[in-house]
Amino acid sequence: MKHSGSGTGAHCSRRNRRQPYAWLGAGAVTLGIGAALASGSAVAYADTGAGSGAGKTSSASSESGSASATATDSSTAKKATARSARSSAATSSGGNVSSRKASAAAASNVPAAAVVDTDAAETATGNSPAATLSSTGHSARVHAASATTSTAAGDSSSPAAANSTPSSTSWLPSTPPVVASVAVSLAQQQIALAQSELQQQTWGSGNFAAGLVSIAPQILLAQAALALNTWETSITPAQSLYARTSGVPIVHELAGVGLLGALLLPTLATTALNSVGLFLPLVGALEGTGGITAVQNAVSTAALNGRVYALVPVTMRSTTEPIVYITVNGGPSTPVLVDTGSSGLVLTAASVGDAAPLGAPTGSGTSGYSGGLSYGYTTYTTTVNFGNGIVSGPTSVNIVNAADSAAALAFFHQLGGASGVLGIGANAAGPGPVGIPTTALPGDLSQGVFLYQGLFLGVAGVMVFGPNPLPTRTSVSGAPDAYLNVKINNGSPTTVGAIIDSGGVYGTILSSMVGGASNVPVGTRISVYTADGVLLYSYIVTSQNRPTVISSGLINTGYAPYQHGPVYLDYTTPDGMGSTNFDYA
């Protein structure tokens, strides 16, 4: 979704046969995590035509020439009107973008180059640093921003080629920085403190009765500490073994069982800590001086910090739309589109509850979709609940203004029946602001987001918060904006700026990459690689899944990479741009 306009605010704003038993791979591991939290289909092969990296063999490819064959004509039509937030160009060879571009450009101060997008690109400003960016799938892209203290760079009244350079704007919090596994270390310290304090307030003070009752919580605290310590020492070897055995039937699945065991250890720890809380009131009653309060505080905080993974089910609508349900400020359960191509949560006031006063707004702006929607929004600080106890701390939410809410909601409903958009990208075009909801989750849950849209036969998938549960096969710098090598059939790879966009439907491609054609011919093989030649995924174009042709700008991968295998967005990179990690399945 491409953002444009102006605003004011307080902040800157590939066909392989599946290996036998492949279904026992990443799917089994992820399912196991989900089952616990609720109390591989990719084949490696060498593609000698990968250019500079032709010799690499650790490239898993998933191809889905028919992955989207079930898409209906209506969803195809929707793609042309409700998508792409950034990877389009100033003009489209496909002929279905120019009219949207014109309407979007007319509705905002964003230059035509910034507004162009092949599918419902959104443009917005107000919450991001001044910048002019290109667009993507239906993510909130091409966010050409202008804050009160600056004007959009490169603003021009005349059409120009869309920017083909990936965004260098980070929406990750810088203070404090997101640091891997810090929370687990804190949890271990808090457990040790609770053990010591509990000992002192019971046996240490000569209270025999309280000491006897404290035996059970002390055992549980020791179990929690052991589980977290074991996780820290076993997770890396387990992931390494899982990676080394990739493509080896049975052995790989056995390695997956071992990895699953390691992944479940933090859940065992938090279960033990929650159980401790059941005993402490009785210990406190017998202790009689209120000294157990400090123990209770340490235990409850350790339970939050010790939660390493948290799973949210994903429903795939209209083949390409990943939907999850959230509640905002205690409001109704609301379906939102999981969009890696944008950054920030956008919804209407009807989805926001009144569990707590929203307080004064922290920013405002205008935004629009090149499909014709234009709206104003106001940013407030509140909490976002993903279910199963996964609740963010105070975070920014962009609420569409009342006058535009009906039109915005109607537009959102085109996105698989969504009522809002959850942008989880680290360096997308916006709308922001800095500190998106997925970085406001407690403990290590804010490290990143694991997304496997095609886990259940393409009908459903999973989203996991926390560190990457699976080993990384290869990675590209940037999430979602990155440089990729794209090969058409047996041609030479072309390095392009791209948006790796779960919300980009079937994506976009440059006309220069398909011989200047206005449509990608059915039967065309599109293969996508890292800059050093590692194959990320490959598929054959059908009449249903063909990407839209654009003349310039960032291309959009569309939902394909997320449908073909597990992908992890890492928020812990030092540069704040994030990274997109393609995992072993």
Choose between 40 and 249: higher pLDDT: 249
Q: Point out the least confidently predicted range of 68-77, 289-298, 431-440.
A: 68-77
The boundaries of the domain holding residue 279 are 182-305
d(CA 585, CA 44): 10
Which CATH number belongs to the domain containing residue 320 in this structure?
2.40.70.10
pLDDT computed for residue 10 by the predictor: 39
Q: Of the residues 305, 330, 354, which one is the last residue of a structural domain?
A: 305
Same domain? For 143 and 20 the reply is yes
Q: How many domains does the chain have?
A: 2
Same domain? For 413 and 540 the reply is yes
Same domain? For 251 and 229 the reply is yes
Mean pLDDT confidence for 348-360: 94
Q: Of the residues 264, 285, 305, which one is the last residue of a structural domain?
A: 305
**Two tokens at 459?**
């009908």
> What secondary structure does DSSP assign to 285-334, as a single string?
HHH-SSTTHHHHHHHHHHHHHT---EEEEEEEETTTEEEEEEEETT---E
Same domain? For 116 and 225 the reply is no
pLDDT computed for residue 180 by the predictor: 72
pLDDT digits (tens, 9 = 90+) for 397-421: 999 999 999 999 998 998 889 999 9
d(CA 519, CA 269): 54
SS3 state of residue 216:
helix
Same domain? For 458 and 383 the reply is yes
* Residue 339 designated active-site: yes
- 216 neighbors 281 (Cβ within 8 angstroms): no
Q: Point out the least confidently predicted range of 160-174, 245-259, 555-569.
A: 160-174
Same domain? For 97 and 241 the reply is no
553 contacts: CB under 8 Å, gap ≥ 6 = 86, 87, 88, 89, 90, 113, 116, 134, 135, 161, 162, 163, 164
Share of the chain above pLDDT 90, in %: 62
Same domain? For 264 and 401 the reply is no
Q: Of the residues 253, 270, 305, which one is the last residue of a structural domain?
A: 305
pLDDT digits (tens, 9 = 90+) for 419-454: 999 999 999 987 889 999 999 999 899 999 999 988
Same domain? For 174 and 186 the reply is no
pTM: 0.78
CA angle (564 as vertex; 561, 565 as ends), nearest 5: 90
Q: Residue 540: phi, psi to the nearest 5?
A: -105, 135
- 85 neighbors 421 (Cβ within 8 angstroms): no
pLDDT computed for residue 51 by the predictor: 42
d(CA 224, CA 196): 15
- 144 neighbors 114 (Cβ within 8 angstroms): yes
Q: Which of 339, 444, 501, 583 is catalytic?
A: 339
d(CA 123, CA 117): 10
pLDDT digits (tens, 9 = 90+) for 282-293: 999 999 889 999
Same domain? For 55 and 126 the reply is yes
pLDDT computed for residue 29 by the predictor: 60
- What mean pLDDT is reported for the chain? 78
| pLDDT higher than 80, residue 570 | yes
| pLDDT higher than 70, residue 487 | yes
| pLDDT higher than 60, residue 38 | no
| pLDDT higher than 90, residue 465 | yes
pLDDT computed for residue 31 by the predictor: 52
Same domain? For 175 and 214 the reply is no
Same domain? For 287 and 340 the reply is no
Same domain? For 364 and 506 the reply is yes
| pLDDT higher than 70, residue 154 | no
DSSP secondary structure code for residue 431 in this structure: B
